[in-house]
Amino acid sequence: MRILVTGGAGFIGANFLHLMVPRYPQHTFINLDKLTYAANLASVSEAARCPNYSFVQADIADAHAVQAVFAQYQPDVVIHFAAESHVDRSILGPAEFMQTNIIGTFNLLEACRTTWSPISQGLFQHISTDEVFGSLGATGYFTEHTRYDPSSPYSASKAASDHLVRAYHRTYGLPVKLTNCSNNYGPRQFPEKLIPLMILNAVAGQPLPVYGKGQNVRDWLYVEDHCEALWSVLMQGQVGATYAIGGGCEKTNLDVVHTVCRIVAEETGRSVSSLESLITFVPDRPGHDLRYAIDSTHMRTELGWTPQESFMSGLRKTVRWYLENTAWVEDVRTGAYRQWLATNYEHREQLLPAGGKEGSA
Ligand code: NAD
Ligand code: TYD
């Protein structure tokens, strides 16, 4: 297979390539990425040494660029990770989310529709989120049949992209597979998301900002477990089907932050109480979904997939990765990320991962 992986320099895409490129030398992997603030080619440095890997910098919101990539590389499979992915950013500046998540997905679908002849020869695998379903109350689970009810500009744009993917299947017969996954954590995640931000701020002795009362619940999945799930969907999943993927691991945000403090303390020899004293309650996110939780029965029964990491084992691996990969961390602490936060997000200055160089772009 010639597999076009979009967003392969971001968190999940890079972990996917890191695992699959060396494991499957019989397949060719093309990483298409715009290299936004969230990307880091250092995240795919090992995959990049393999002969079955290539990289192309392109913007999926640019229809001509997408068509040119299809003409050059002639992929027969697209695994579509590329997105603007951070809810807080979508609240502060939604426009980019519409361009990348909606128009970008549309451009890719059009390239598949107009290039694959017959159309049934390709496969478009769409990576989406459980956030399209909105918020759960204290009970219940999201499944493949849950009604869409997105709360944020991010989740609304992902919902739109899911609808486009299904419409291309029904209207044009494009072979598609969809997945809606819960919150991922693990190595190579940009430290604007909860877990890496807390790890790096704890290590640096900086405030650990918890939104509201910290009682919102997320269902955490170690990123490699997600990547394995995606590979099983690719190889064994049914065309036209949707798979809900979750960790079966519900935690309040406050629980997550306390556990991060405990593991960072164990790994660095500091006291847990000194790290916990950094916890700072900050104003809540507008439209903050209370609870996400996935029922992954379809994945387990049809594809035999089950997560391998517990929250403790996955989080310990994650903390160690951030402690060991200081060059990667330094790379993202400086540069455009800090610049963006400084200009757009002054009231949450404490969210900055500590230690970066002020004003560098
Ligand atoms: P990320 O923000 O870490 O990475 C996104 C990547 O997409 C970056 O490398 C970026 O450069 C690239 N990109 C952005 N705009 C682009 C454009 N216009 N053209 C080409 N490339 C572009 O995101 P992530 O956390 O790795 O998420 C990957 C996918 O998985 C997203 O579609 C997201 O909605 C979905 N998802 C994420 C989670 C999670 O917890 N992170 C959970 C479920 C689903
Ligand atoms: P996040 O990692 O942004 O993922 P998502 O919003 O897609 O679920 O946030 C996870 C949870 O953590 C969410 O309920 C918001 C909360 N949160 C904080 O309390 N403090 C923070 O600094 C961040 C980034 C998130």
259 and 178 assigned to the same domain: no
- Percent of residues, the chain, with pLDDT higher than 90: 90
Does 338 have pLDDT greater than 70? no
Residue 332 domain-assigned (yes or no)? yes
Ligand closest to 56 (CA) is 1
Shortest-distance atom of ligand 2 to CA 129: 7
142 and 201 assigned to the same domain: no
67 and 207 assigned to the same domain: no
145 and 174 assigned to the same domain: yes
Q: How many residues does the chain have?
A: 361
Q: Report which of residues 338 and 56 the model is more confident about.
A: 56
Q: How many CA atoms lie within 13 A of 319 on its CB side?
A: 23
Ligand closest to 91 (CA) is 2
pLDDT-derived band of residue 336, with 50, 70 and 90 as boundaries? low
Residue 92 domain-assigned (yes or no)? yes
pLDDT-derived band of residue 359, with 50, 70 and 90 as boundaries? very low
Does 208 have pLDDT greater than 60? yes
C-alpha of residue 217 to centroid of ligand 2, in Å: 10
Alpha helix stretches (DSSP H) within the chain: 11-23, 63-73, 87-92, 95-97, 105-115, 153-172, 194-204, 223-236, 253-268, 272-276, 297-303, 311-324, 326-333, 336-344
Ligand closest to 81 (CA) is 1
Residue 338 domain-assigned (yes or no)? yes
**Is the CB of 83 inside a 6 Å radius of any atom of ligand 1?**
yes
pLDDT at res. 332: 82
C-alpha of residue 104 to centroid of ligand 2, in Å: 25
209 and 133 assigned to the same domain: no
**Is the CB of 100 inside a 6 Å radius of any atom of ligand 1?**
yes
158 and 259 assigned to the same domain: no
**Is the CB of 14 inside a 6 Å radius of any atom of ligand 1?**
no
**Is the CB of 35 inside a 6 Å radius of any atom of ligand 1?**
yes
Q: pTM of whole model > 0.85?
A: yes
C-alpha of residue 84 to centroid of ligand 1, in Å: 6
Residues taking part in catalysis = 130-131, 154
C-alpha of residue 193 to centroid of ligand 2, in Å: 6
pLDDT at res. 355: 46
Q: Are 201 and 353 in contact, with CB atoms under 8 Å apart?
A: yes
C-alpha of residue 69 to centroid of ligand 2, in Å: 34
In the structure, which protein residues have their CB atom closer than 6 angstroms to any atom of ligand 2? 87, 183, 193-194, 197, 209-211, 216, 218, 253, 285, 351
From atom 42 of ligand 1, which residue's Cα is the shortest distance away? 183
Give me the domain span that covers residue 170.
2-185+222-245
**Is the CB of 85 inside a 6 Å radius of any atom of ligand 1?**
yes
Does 252 have pLDDT greater than 60? yes
C-alpha of residue 194 to centroid of ligand 2, in Å: 5
80 three-class SS: strand
pLDDT-derived band of residue 231, with 50, 70 and 90 as boundaries? very high
148 and 21 assigned to the same domain: yes
Residue 295 domain-assigned (yes or no)? no
Taking the alpha carbons at both ends of the chain, their separation in whole angstroms is 39
Ligand closest to 195 (CA) is 2
Residue 112: which CATH number? Answer: 3.40.50.720
Q: pLDDT tens digit string along 290-330?
A: 999 999 999 999 999 999 999 999 999 999 999 999 989 98
173 and 28 assigned to the same domain: yes
117 and 206 assigned to the same domain: no
**Is the CB of 218 inside a 6 Å radius of any atom of ligand 1?**
no
Instruction: Count structural domains, the chain.
Output: 2
Residue 83 domain-assigned (yes or no)? yes
Q: How far apart are CA 303 and CA 229, in angstroms?
A: 9
Residue 356 domain-assigned (yes or no)? no
Q: How far apart are CA 54 and CA 48, in angstroms?
A: 7
Residue 273: which CATH number? Answer: 3.90.25.10
Shortest-distance atom of ligand 2 to CA 214: 19
147 and 254 assigned to the same domain: no
Residue 94 domain-assigned (yes or no)? yes
Q: pLDDT tens digit string along 165-180?
A: 999 999 999 999 999 9
Residue 206 domain-assigned (yes or no)? yes
How many other CB atoms are there within 10 angstroms of residue 19's CB atom? 17
236 and 95 assigned to the same domain: yes
Average of per-residue pLDDT values in the chain? 93
**Is the CB of 102 inside a 6 Å radius of any atom of ligand 1?**
no
265 and 152 assigned to the same domain: no
